[in-house]
């Protein structure tokens, strides 16, 4: 069936393009969509893919490497430093205790301890790709539970390296415990331990120092060529080069690129790097998820359903329990602990690598690994479902309640204003309104914040504001205004469409992030669009003018007129913009900027008030004398 | 039928007793445009083009406002500064407003007796309005005696209700062309004259 590379690419892309939007529409998230696409085109679905699934997965694992590069870019070193306690403490304890519990069960089930330990280690890892992608999509990465998940995943990615070193030692069943602790270089190609360590140190310093001192001038030189594809090529070269280097010295490529990302996070090319690598990352991750879906061995599951499903249930239950206990021990609130525990109980993509490695090394027999590989794939596939379960069934019962506490003296749901999202933006709006005696109803999905707001006496509904039922119970039919102050443009747009359709009487006031979002919102029919940094930047501009010696009121008038002009050109350009068609986000921002600058230039009256200008008066009356 | 532009300036309408009632009674019909300046330009950022357009579409401009420090509230002054541009409203080329008429509609806390040469404020209302009168005249507009609602500090709710009704009737009369222009010119104030029941005829 698989006729060449192009046909394969066609099948993969078609499957993704059909299933992913469908899954998103159904509220299942893109990861589940990709997995389903994989199942559909896989050997047990339409059989469009054959045995090459494993190879594709191997190739697509590179998406994880790229994802860690992007995560590194978004992570400044000081944030990483702040997270050191959860990374080492929470992450270390999670890997250690899960490994021990699972290995114990393995030994009890009659496996030799080496095999049990290897399996336990491998199964203790979680899937960075699935969890981060899902949390990001749900906008939960910044919550306490999201940050803890991230920390644990980071630790696990690092922990893969010693695991790869330990596995070969376990194959020589005689190795003493002291030997394990001592010699962590079992992988090295005939090099003595110290040389191996030196190589690792050298590779890491190459990345750190190179990134710090060479990266910037290199990217600057490349940017100056104005050849976009060369810049993109350079970024890919960088990522692939680091991955190769890391593999050579026996480190995880993901860790290496993550490090490079962190080093480059402070450079001025951060956003270009990110937007260049983003599509590759997305596609490869999608490919990875598809191949996971395709690799689920339904024949094996069908042959021994009890064993496989029992193993999936057992592994997930053990991991869940450990995660929940640790989360509570590390002081997460109940909701966040549940999010954390429901997010991470699957087995991660590194398991495929570790299992095949362990089989090669003769630590685990193929009869053990092949059901375990099915278990891993299944556990990954149910992750989005588990998170949905948590969101829809568990949280509403156990966690922060969705609706506010009933108070006798207040009629619920009667406030005229709904505020979706109570981050700093929404909070300022809410505080202003409350300070003037306006009742507001808040919709927010950060449970810690929700608890606080409720203690302060606000009416708060907890959950995803783009859910129709939540809007309904929050009183969207009776409210007059809907203030959208969500953190993501996609969510904002989704909420706009939902509100337009089901609650047409609501007047929508929406926060936009930049020109592009503002355009989208205007096209979606929102009349009141507020670009979040516009007023602030104009205030800064006003102050800059004053510091340069302009009079205070002149500066203020200039800003007022500029704001007006800017709003006007935004609306004018919304129409023109549709003709441009699809452009990459960065390209689009540049084009928008160009149009704005042109519009400024064609607007002569921006810098003076004719009414206060005596120029023409002097001309007329001065000449008469 | 004269087209009226009613420019209204009150910075704290929510606390006003008189003007809130007055504007409630403004006739809602063709020929009168009500422009609430503080509602439209809370940040004093007067839209000059828009305001000039409104002026061009009117024959009679009424400036309705409370009397603050013997003058208009600040925004109405800002409006004058910005909208009445040289070369548009005045100057050799500034002929846009020629032939139009202008008058104030204003309320004072003190009674009529306070606005006399021998009264508490030592000047008449008309004297206080000299800057606006000359502004109108420089723009080629005829400045007419104001419509006055005085002694508002001592007015009861019923008095205010009555004043609002009278004001409403006068606006209707202006729109119907039932106010004799000669009588208005020579009257001390517009509220002192009695509109006719029939339109004033072709000569207004």
Residue B197 located in a structural domain: no
A207 with A267, same domain?
A: yes
A62 with A157, same domain?
A: yes
CB of B43 within 8 Å of a chain A CB? The answer is yes
d(CA A144, CA A142): 7
Nearest-by-CA chain A residue for B90: A617
What would the mean pLDDT of A10-14 be, rounded to a whole number? 84
- Is the pLDDT at A447 greater than 80? The verdict is no
A64 with A142, same domain?
A: yes
pLDDT in tens, B27-75: 999 999 999 999 999 999 999 999 999 999 999 999 999 999 999 999 9
Interface predicted TM-score of the whole assembly (ipTM), two decimals: 0.74
What would the mean pLDDT of A106-115 be, rounded to a whole number? 88
A261 with A155, same domain?
A: yes
From chain B, the residues in CB contact with A612 under 8 A are: 81-82
- Is the pLDDT at A173 greater than 50? The verdict is no
Are A610 and B83 a contacting pair at CB < 8 A? Answer: no
- Is the pLDDT at A76 greater than 70? The verdict is no
A335 with A423, same domain?
A: no
Q: What is the pLDDT of residue A410?
A: 40
- The strand order across the sheet containing A417-420 reads A459-462, A440-444, A417-420, A481-484, A507-512, A528-531
- Is the pLDDT at A266 greater than 80? The verdict is no
Domain that holds residue A495: 417-612
**Which CATH number covers residue B92?**
3.40.50.360
CB of A533 within 8 Å of a chain B CB? The answer is no
User: Residue for token digits 């928008």?
Assistant: A592
Nearest-by-CA chain B residue for A563: B45
Are B81 and A617 a contacting pair at CB < 8 A? Answer: no
- Is the pLDDT at A188 greater than 50? The verdict is no
Output the six-digit token pair for A517.
């979002």
pLDDT in tens, A390-417: 888 887 776 666 665 544 334 444 689 9
Q: What is the pLDDT of residue A400?
A: 65
Pairing type for strands A440-444 and A507-512 reads: unpaired
Lowest mean pLDDT among A357-371, A498-512, A513-527, B143-157: A357-371
Output the six-digit token pair for B189.
């104030």
* Cβ atoms of A437 and A446 closer than 8 Å: no
Q: What is the pLDDT of residue B201?
A: 56
Domain that holds residue B128: 4-192
Residue A180 located in a structural domain: no
Residue A187 located in a structural domain: no
A481 with A391, same domain?
A: no
Q: What is the pLDDT of residue A577?
A: 64
Distance from CA of A547 to the nearest CA of B (A): 23
Residue B99 located in a structural domain: yes
A235 with A110, same domain?
A: yes
Distance from CA of B93 to the nearest CA of A (A): 10
Residue B199 located in a structural domain: no
A382 with A451, same domain?
A: no
What would the mean pLDDT of A62-83 be, rounded to a whole number? 75
CB of B23 within 8 Å of a chain A CB? The answer is no
CB of B48 within 8 Å of a chain A CB? The answer is yes
What part of B 78-97 touches A (C-beta under 8 Å)? 81-87, 91-92
Percent of chain A past pLDDT 70, that is, above it, reads: 86
Distance from CA of A612 to the nearest CA of B (A): 7
Higher pLDDT, residue A287 or B26: B26
Q: What is the pLDDT of residue B204?
A: 44
The domain boundary residue, chosen from A364, A395, A426: A395
What would the mean pLDDT of A101-124 be, rounded to a whole number? 90
Residue A353 located in a structural domain: yes
Residue B202 located in a structural domain: no
What would the mean pLDDT of A355-367 be, rounded to a whole number? 81
Residue B44 located in a structural domain: yes
Residue A43 located in a structural domain: no
Residue A155 located in a structural domain: yes
Residue B200 located in a structural domain: no
Q: What is the pLDDT of residue A289?
A: 78
R_g over Cα of chain A: 28
- Is the pLDDT at A182 greater than 60? The verdict is no
Q: How many domains are there within chain A? A: 2
Residue A225 located in a structural domain: yes
**Which CATH number covers residue A564?**
3.40.50.720
pLDDT in tens, B159-182: 999 999 999 999 999 999 999 999
A237 with A341, same domain?
A: yes
A426 with A509, same domain?
A: yes
Percent of chain A past pLDDT 90, that is, above it, reads: 17
Phi, psi (deg, nearest 5) at residue A240: -65, -40
Higher pLDDT, residue A329 or B147: B147
CB of A564 within 8 Å of a chain B CB? The answer is yes
Residue A297 located in a structural domain: yes
One-character DSSP codes across A98-135: HHHHHHHHHHHTT--HHHHHHHHHHHH---HHHHHHHH
**Triad B15, B20, B26: Cα angle to 5°:** 165
Q: How many domains are there within chain B? A: 1
**Which CATH number covers residue A268?**
1.20.1530.20
Residue B93 located in a structural domain: yes
A452 with A511, same domain?
A: yes
**Which among B45, B47, B81 has the least Cβ separation from residue A611?**
B81
What would the mean pLDDT of A131-149 be, rounded to a whole number? 82
Q: What is the pLDDT of residue A193?
A: 64
A444 with A357, same domain?
A: no
Residue B198 located in a structural domain: no
Are A620 and B45 a contacting pair at CB < 8 A? Answer: no
Residue A33 located in a structural domain: no
d(CA B185, CA B149): 18
Lowest mean pLDDT among A344-348, A484-488, A618-622: A618-622
Q: What is the pLDDT of residue A183?
A: 37
Higher pLDDT, residue A571 or B117: B117
């Amino acid at each position: 069936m698989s006729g060449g590379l192009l046909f394969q690419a066609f099948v993969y892309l078609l499957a993704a393009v059909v299933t992913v939007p469908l899954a998103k529409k159904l509220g299942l998230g893109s990861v589940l969509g990709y997995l389903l696409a994989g199942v559909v085109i896989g050997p047990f679905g339409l059989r469009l893919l054959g045995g090459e699934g494993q190879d594709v997965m191997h190739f697509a694992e590179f998406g994880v490497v790229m994802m860690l590069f992007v995560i590194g870019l978004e992570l400044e070193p000081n944030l990483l430093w702040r997270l050191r306690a959860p990374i080492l403490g929470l992450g270390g304890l999670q890997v250690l205790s899960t490994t021990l519990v699972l290995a114990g069960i393995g030994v009890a089930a009659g496996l030799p301890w080496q095999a049990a330990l290897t399996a336990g280690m491998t199964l203790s890892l979680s899937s960075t790709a699935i969890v981060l992608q899902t949390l990001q999509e749900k906008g939960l990465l910044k919550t306490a539970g999201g940050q803890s998940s991230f920390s644990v995943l980071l630790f696990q990615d690092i922990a893969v390296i010693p695991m790869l070193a330990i596995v070969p030692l376990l194959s020589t069943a005689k190795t003493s415990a002291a030997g394990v602790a001592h010699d962590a270089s079992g992988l090295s190609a005939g090099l003595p331990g110290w040389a191996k360590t030196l190589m690792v140190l050298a590779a890491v310093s190459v990345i750190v120092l190179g990134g710090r001192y060479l990266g910037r001038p290199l990217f600057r030189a490349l940017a100056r060529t104005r050849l976009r594809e060369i810049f993109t090529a350079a970024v890919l070269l960088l990522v692939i080069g680091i991955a190769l280097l890391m593999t050579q010295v026996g480190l995880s490529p993901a860790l290496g690129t993550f490090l490079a990302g962190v080093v480059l996070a402070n450079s001025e090319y951060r956003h270009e790097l990110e937007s260049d690598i983003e599509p590759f990352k997305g596609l490869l991750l999608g490919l990875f998820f598809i191949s996971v879906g395709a690799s689920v061995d339904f024949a094996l599951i069908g042959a021994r359903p009890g064993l496989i499903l029992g193993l999936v249930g057992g592994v997930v239950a053990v991991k869940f329990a450990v995660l929940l206990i640790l989360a509570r021990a590390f002081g997460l609130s109940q909701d966040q602990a549940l999010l954390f525990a429901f997010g991470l109980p699957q087995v991660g993509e590194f398991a495929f690598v570790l299992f095949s490695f362990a089989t090669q090394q003769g630590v685990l027999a193929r009869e053990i690994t092949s059901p375990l590989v099915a278990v891993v794939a299944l556990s990954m596939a149910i992750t989005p479902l588990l998170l949905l379960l948590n969101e829809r069934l568990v949280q509403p019962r156990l966690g922060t309640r969705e609706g506010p506490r009933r108070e006798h003296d207040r009629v619920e749901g009667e406030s005229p204003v709904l505020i979706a999202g109570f981050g700093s933006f929404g909070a300022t709006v809410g505080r202003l309104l409350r300070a003037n005696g306006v009742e507001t109803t808040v919709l927010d999905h950060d449970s810690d914040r929700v608890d606080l707001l409720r203690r302060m006496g606000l009416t708060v509904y907890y959950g995803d504001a783009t859910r129709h039922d939540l809007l309904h119970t929050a009183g969207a039919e009776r409210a007059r205004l809907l203030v959208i102050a969500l953190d993501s443009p996609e969510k904002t747009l989704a909420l706009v469409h939902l509100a337009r359709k089901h609650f047409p009487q609501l007047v929508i006031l929406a926060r936009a992030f930049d020109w592009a979002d503002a355009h989208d919102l205007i096209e979606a029919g929102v009349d009141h669009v507020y670009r979040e940094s516009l007023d602030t930047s104009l205030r800064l501009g006003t102050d800059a003018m004053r510091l340069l010696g302009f009079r205070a009121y002149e500066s203020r008038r200039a800003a007022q007129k500029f704001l007006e002009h800017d709003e006007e050109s935004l609306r004018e350009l919304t129409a023109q913009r549709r003709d441009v068609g699809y452009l990459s986000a960065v390209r689009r921002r540049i084009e928008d900027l160009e149009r704005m600058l042109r519009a400024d230039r064609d607007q002569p009256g921006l810098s003076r008030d004719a009414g206060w200008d005596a120029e023409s008066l002097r001309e007329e009356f001065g000449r008469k004398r | 039928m004269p087209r009226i532009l009613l420019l209204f300036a009150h910075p704290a309408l929510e606390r006003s007793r008189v003007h809130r009632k007055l504007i409630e009674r403004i006739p809602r019909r063709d020929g009168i445009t009500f422009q609430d300046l503080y509602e439209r330009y809370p940040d004093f950022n007067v839209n000059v083009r828009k305001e000039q357009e409104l002026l061009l579409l009117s024959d009679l401009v009424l400036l309705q406002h409370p009397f603050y420090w013997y003058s208009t509230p600040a925004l109405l002054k800002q409006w004058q500064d910005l909208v009445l541009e040289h070369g548009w409203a005045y100057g050799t080329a500034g002929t846009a407003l020629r032939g139009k008429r202008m008058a104030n509609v204003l309320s004072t806390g003190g009674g009529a007796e306070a606005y006399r040469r021998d009264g508490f404020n030592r000047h008449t209302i008309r004297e206080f309005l000299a800057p606006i009168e000359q502004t109108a005249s420089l723009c080629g507009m005829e400045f007419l005696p104001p419509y006055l609602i005085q002694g508002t500090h001592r007015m009861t709710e019923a008095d205010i209700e009555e004043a609002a009704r009278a004001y409403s009737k006068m606006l209707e009369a202006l729109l119907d062309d039932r106010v004799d222009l000669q009588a208005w010119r020579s009257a001390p104030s517009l509220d002192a004259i009695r509109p006719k029941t029939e339109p004033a005829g072709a000569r207004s």
